[in-house]
């Protein structure tokens, strides 16, 4: 797993190191500090973290020249501080069961794959898992989730294309309760193009859930594609407003140089980051370790 993680953040790290290249050994005057700050922003780490690193470097302890490695160490420390507060695996502690996890995100973000990965993870932890195919707008989404469910070996509740998502959720909670399911993971339609409809649909799902269990949904997980960089941040903004996001999963950190956006998201929104995706297979999702990730990034 560490190798995958390393591979996953390699390009992000290469970019950051590239942006900082040549700054080592220079006197840390205002100009150099500005350049460091800009380099960090250009690496998607977000303005707040960049400013903190700048302040640390300017503290005076570093009046002398500083080698590149020293700068990176300060970056790693500041990144770790930000990530430490948000790195939280999803705990399964709902009573009564099932714990209902609503998964939201735009199409293509990796929502379906993330649901499969989560199901696999919970199964590995000996929880009884069920899926609900609440994205009824795309026949492909239903089929894809079904295929995953069969592969992983978990039950799934589906309905026809264009069917009523809230109805599927109702059936799923009933069935999950009847057979003692611990975790019910619900896929939803990711149509951000029509905010009103999306909002109405999510509100309806929430009403149905609330009638069966006032505490549900226990989690509203937003799936974000790291390759979209700053765009991922505006998605948090919108989904927070329409869906009441409780936590994030960032996908596709493998093969992107924009992994720094993870830090920007953490800094700006403080939402728990439950897991990160570094590949297309079902075991390519793991809770992440703030220290490990920060050391890789910088
Ligand atoms: P959805 O439309 O949001 O449900 O997205 P999918 O789950 O179908 O994923 C879209 C594409 O992204 C698929 O080809 C997935 O295999 C791929 N994908 C999802 N997560 C990851 C990831 O963490 N890394 C990589 N490399 N690909 C991913």
Question: How do residues 161-184 score in pLDDT, each as one tens digit?
Answer: 999 999 999 999 999 999 999 999
pLDDT of residue 60: 64
Does ligand 1 lie within 6 Å of residue 252's CB atom?
yes
* pLDDT at residue 117 in the model: 97
19 Cβ closer than 6 Å to some ligand 1 atom: no
pLDDT at 94: 97
- Ligand 1 atom nearest residue 113's Cα: 7
For ligand 1, say whether the CB of 110 is within 6 Å of any of its atoms: yes
Predicted confidence band of residue 255 (pLDDT cuts 50, 70, 90): confident
Cite the annotated binding site for GTP by residue number: 105-112, 187-191, 251-254
CB 157 within 8 A of CB 210: no
Q: Which of 280, 281, 282, 285 to mutate to test the pocket of ligand 1 (most atoms within 8 A of CB)?
A: 280
107 C-beta closer than 6 A to ligand 1: yes
Give pLDDT, residue 63.
57
| Per-residue pLDDT tens over the stretch 54-99 | 999 888 655 566 788 889 999 999 999 999 999 999 999 999 999 9
d(CA 296, CA 8): 10
Which among 4, 5, 110 is the best mutation to test ligand 1's pocket, defined by most ligand atoms within 8 Å of the CB?
Answer: 110
| The predicted structure's pLDDT at residue 238 | 92
Spell out a b/e string for 146-171, using b for 16 or more CB atoms within 10 Å of the CB, else e: eebbeebebbbbbbeeeebbbbbbbe
Q: What are the pLDDT digits (tens) for 5-53?
A: 777 788 899 999 999 988 878 788 888 899 999 999 999 999 999 999 9
- Distance, in Å, from the CA atom of 187 to the CA atom of 180, rounded to the nearest integer, reads 20
* Residue 29: per-residue pLDDT: 85
Residue 147 or residue 198, greater confidence: 147
The angle at the Cα of 13, spanning 10 to 15, to the nearest 5 degrees, equals 110
In angstroms, rounded to a whole number, what is the distance separating the alpha carbons of residues 92 and 87?
Answer: 16
**pLDDT tens readout for residues 184-243:** 999 999 887 788 888 899 999 999 999 999 999 999 999 999 999 999 999 999 999 889
Q: Is the peptide bond before 187 cis (omega within 30 degrees of 0)?
A: no
Question: What local confidence, expressed as pLDDT, does residue 62 receive?
Answer: 56
Average pLDDT over residues 108-133: 97
Cβ atoms of residues 136 and 168 within 8 Å: yes
Q: What is the pLDDT of residues 256-280, one digit of tens each?
A: 999 999 999 999 999 999 999 999 9
pLDDT for position 61: 58
């Amino acid at each position: 797993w560490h190798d995958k993680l390393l591979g996953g953040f390699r390009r992000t790290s290469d970019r950051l190191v590239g942006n900082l290249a040549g700054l080592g050994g220079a006197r840390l005057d205002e100009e150099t500090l500005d350049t460091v700050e800009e380099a960090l922003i250009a690496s998607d780490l977000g303005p707040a973290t960049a400013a903190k690193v700048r302040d640390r470097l300017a503290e005076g302890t570093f009046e002398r020249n500083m080698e590149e490695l020293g700068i990176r160490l300060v970056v790693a420390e500041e990144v770790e501080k930000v990530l430490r507060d948000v790195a939280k695996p999803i705990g399964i502690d709902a009573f009564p069961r099932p714990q209902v996890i609503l998964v939201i995100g735009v199409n293509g973000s990796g929502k379906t794959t993330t649901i499969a990965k989560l199901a696999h993870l919970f199964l590995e932890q000996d929880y009884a898992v069920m899926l609900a195919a609440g994205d009824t707008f795309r026949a492909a989404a239903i089929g894809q989730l079904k295929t995953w469910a069969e592969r992983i070996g978990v039950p799934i509740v589906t309905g026809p294309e264009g069917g009523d998502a809230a109805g599927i959720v109702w059936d799923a909670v009933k069935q999950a309760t009847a057979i003692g399911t611990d975790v019910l993971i619900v896929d939803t339609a990711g149509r951000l193009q029509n905010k009103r409809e999306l909002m109405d649909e999510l509100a309806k799902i929430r009403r149905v859930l609330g009638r069966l269990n006032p505490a549900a949904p226990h989690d509203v997980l937003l799936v974000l594609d790291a390759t979209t960089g700053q765009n991922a941040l505006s998605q948090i903004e919108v989904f927070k407003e329409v869906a009441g996001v409780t936590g994030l999963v960032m996908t596709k950190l493998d093969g992107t140089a924009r992994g720094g956006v993870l830090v920007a998201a953490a800094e700006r929104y403080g939402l728990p980051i439950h897991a990160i995706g570094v590949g297309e297979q079902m075991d390519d999702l793991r809770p992440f370790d703030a220290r490990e990730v920060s050391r890789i990034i910088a």
